[in-house]
Amino acid sequence: MKQNVSTSAGTPGIKAPRGKAGTLLRDIIRDKWLYLMLLPGVIYFIIFKYVPMYGVSMAFMDYKPYTGFLGSPWVGLKHFERFFSEPQFGMLFRNTVILAVYNLVFFFPMPIILSLMLNEVRRAKFKNFVQTLIYIPHFVSWVVVVGIFYILLTTENGVLNELLYRITGEKIAFLLEAEWFRTMIITQSIWKEIGWGTVIFLAALAGVDLQQYEAARIDGASRWRQLWHITLPAIRSTIIILFILRLGNFLDSGFEHIFLMITPTNREVGEVFDTYVYTKGMTQAQYSYSAAVGLFKSAVGLVLVLGSNWLAKKFGEEGVY
Amino acid sequence: MLQDKTIGNRIFDIINYTLLILIALVCVLPFVYVLAVSFTSPAEVARGGLILWPKEWSLASYRYIFSTDTLFRSMLVSIYITVVGTFINLLFTSLMAYPLAKATLRGRQFILLAVLFTMLFGGGMIPTYFVVKAMGLTNSLWSLMIPNAISAFNLIVLKNFFQQIPDGLEDSARIDGCTDVGVLFRIVLPLSMPAMATFGLFYAVGHWNQFFSAILYINDSRLYPIQVLLRQIVILAQGSIGDTSIDNIEIQPLTIRMAVIVFATVPILLVYPFLQKHFAKGVMLGSVKG
């Protein structure tokens, strides 16, 4: 960009350097302002995205803050070997996979069912009213969601536990008992995201030509048949894409959410890869070890995303990337 | 379009409408309950039961949570990071999205691929922490705004949005002597106000709701945003925010927590009508495809 001094470069009349390299140079000079605008963003991505990617090499070192990044010794796969032989490895793997499967089975279908129900509503005002209300929980933080569940379910005067006590005569410590942990996580996820999850399906359904329904009715199709032959095919590819995206993020269990819900009594079922990285790295200062765990998770995640994208294309869908 | 008025259809509609009303209530009632109880007198709360409208109004819990300036200060911190952080987000995102929207820009594909790759793979929590620390951002509010200045997803959606703006308008400004920077700020951004509002709201909600970055990067409790304080009070039930010397033994601890939740949520509910207006557009604004 040394040629920047000539501000009129690129305008007609100026002799352009010949050849391929010449055109490249001319284009760069022409777009100098654009490159200048790119600069802050490029620097941001380098510093906060790519430097940490390079920094992940600390997973192969014994990183000590006082010896610094360059002064720490390389130890090869030591931390990975330790991680795979730890008894926690099996526990983390099991917890993550069980939560992910619960998510796919119980959470994933919910917004689809709800959007089908909303799609059957013919009164626009009623539909808008319901939509306005069910989107609200999406916009509050996980802290508020978990906080509200604590307030409703605590065994000390929580209103739902009081109700339970009046009916069954006993209280359940939903938030402390390990056996309730997964149910709580999934219930909270559904409560927060079921409404918001319908947005994308309703948008797909808005594109359906209403004449299709009319034609189907004239042919004597019942409401269920219309649902099966018109509505569901309209959102089929959206469902497949979202399912595949979800498969790609299989290992992401919703870190903030789980972090908030973990207590010493449910750690056995609640600890997942991300929370383990935090516990080992930030609270116990085992930096290299936790970076290794994080790298393992990111690498598996990358394979899952690319694999599921490949799967999508195999199914004749467009794929996401 | 009318459905046939058969009995089966009628029954279906009744069940469908009832279920939808129930679901909507389940989504909203917890908020109503928390709001109502926070305004109810300690005596009525002590009697228990489901309160959706206070019979005996009282501001006791609010007087209590504002008896020290802890809550007030963390509200200010949250407002600060939301306003300044969102401004940084919008500035950085649009500055980068605009050049990438130009098909003739050399190196564009490379940069787009590099951005896309950050959505698939990252260094993770620990290396990122050390980068933020090395930049000297830890224990300052910048650590809550700079490390997430650009969301790769929003960047690509905004780039697609800019591409849809007709070139003719920009060209005429350029002929009048505008540089590319001038074109962005005088032509493109004013034309993109709905999109900017949408992204601004999404970024702002993200800032207001974030709590984990603060736990990771901030040690000084005076710099805690509201969500961190909320977690300590409501979930961990530790750290008192009120002045314990005033006589409020009769105030239920649950009521105090509810008052704090109300304060952490009200700003979101205030902008909700705008969110509601813009978000569906925002979600559909563009696809991820580059």
Identify whether residues B112 and B29 lie together within a single domain: no
Domains of chain A, start order: 12-60 (no CATH), 79-314 (1.10.3720.10)
Q: Which of B20, B126, B133 to mutate to test the interface with A (most CBs of A within 10 A)?
A: B126
Full residue range of the structural domain in which residue B40 is found: 2-58
pLDDT, residue A261, reads 94
Higher pLDDT, A114 or B43: A114
Identify whether residues B106 and B179 lie together within a single domain: yes
Domain end point (choices B58, B85, B103): B58
Domain end point (choices B35, B58, B81): B58
- Nearest one of A192, A169, A5 to A111, comparing CA atoms: A192
- When pLDDT is cut at 50, 70 and 90, the band that residue B67 belongs to is confident
Inform me whether the pLDDT recorded for B272 exceeds 60: yes
pLDDT in tens, A219-252: 988 888 999 999 999 898 889 888 888 888 888 8
Identify whether residues B216 and B243 lie together within a single domain: yes
* A192: chain B residues, CB-CB within 8 Å: none
Identify whether residues B95 and B192 lie together within a single domain: yes
Identify whether residues B119 and B206 lie together within a single domain: yes
Identify whether residues B19 and B102 lie together within a single domain: no
For residues B119 and A252, what is the distance between their CA atoms, to the nearest angstrom? 13
pLDDT, residue B166, reads 85
Tokens of B216: 């990771």
Identify whether residues B129 and B252 lie together within a single domain: yes
- When pLDDT is cut at 50, 70 and 90, the band that residue B286 belongs to is very low
For residues B43 and B51, what is the distance between their CA atoms, to the nearest angstrom? 13
Interface ipTM: 0.90
Cβ contact, residue pair B216, A259, below 8 Å: no
Identify whether residues B51 and B131 lie together within a single domain: no
**Closest CB from A51, A53, A146 relative to B235:** A146
pLDDT in tens, A140-189: 999 999 999 999 998 888 888 888 998 998 889 898 889 999 999 999 99
- When pLDDT is cut at 50, 70 and 90, the band that residue B278 belongs to is low
pLDDT in tens, B139-177: 999 999 999 999 999 999 999 999 988 888 888 888 888
Nearest C-alpha in B relative to A305: B120
Average pLDDT over residues B7-36: 94
How many CB atoms lie under 10 A from the CB of residue B20? 22
Distances (CA, A) of A314 to A44, A249, A307, A318, B190: 36, 19, 10, 9, 42
For residues B6 and B10, what is the distance between their CA atoms, to the nearest angstrom? 6
CB B47 within 8 A of CB B40: no
Q: Residue B181's domain is classified under what CATH number?
A: 1.10.3720.10
Q: How close, in Å, is residue A26 to chain B by CA atoms? A: 11
CB B160 within 8 A of CB B284: no
> What residue has token string 């974030």?
B210
Identify whether residues B224 and B273 lie together within a single domain: yes
Tokens of A114: 């709800």
Enumerate the β-bridge partners of residue A74: A61
Q: Is B67 part of the contact surface with chain A (CB cutoff 8 Å)?
A: no
Contacts 24+ apart (CB under 8 A), A81-86: A82/A289, A83/A289, A83/A292, A83/A293, A83/A296
Of the candidate ranges A9-13, B59-63, B68-72, the one whose mean pLDDT is the lowest: A9-13
* B263: chain A residues, CB-CB within 8 Å: none
Written as one letter, the residue type at B264 is A
pLDDT, residue A3, reads 40
CB A249 within 8 A of CB A301: yes
Identify whether residues B44 and B170 lie together within a single domain: no
Average pLDDT over residues A75-87: 94
Q: How close, in Å, is residue B77 to chain A by CA atoms? A: 16
For residues B227 and B225, what is the distance between their CA atoms, to the nearest angstrom? 6
Query: What is the tally of structural domains in chain B?
Result: 2
Tokens of B52: 């959706």
Identify whether residues B268 and B174 lie together within a single domain: yes
For residues A231 and A224, what is the distance between their CA atoms, to the nearest angstrom? 10
Q: How close, in Å, is residue B124 to chain A by CA atoms? A: 6
For residues A98 and A226, what is the distance between their CA atoms, to the nearest angstrom? 36
Identify whether residues B119 and B262 lie together within a single domain: yes
Average pLDDT over residues B226-247: 74
Q: Is B258 part of the contact surface with chain A (CB cutoff 8 Å)?
A: yes
Written as one letter, the residue type at A163 is L
Domain end point (choices B58, B78, B95): B58
Q: Which residues neighbour B284 within 8 Å (Cβ) at sequence distance 6 or greater?
A: A203
Q: How close, in Å, is residue B146 to chain A by CA atoms? A: 8
Cβ contact, residue pair A38, B279, below 8 Å: no
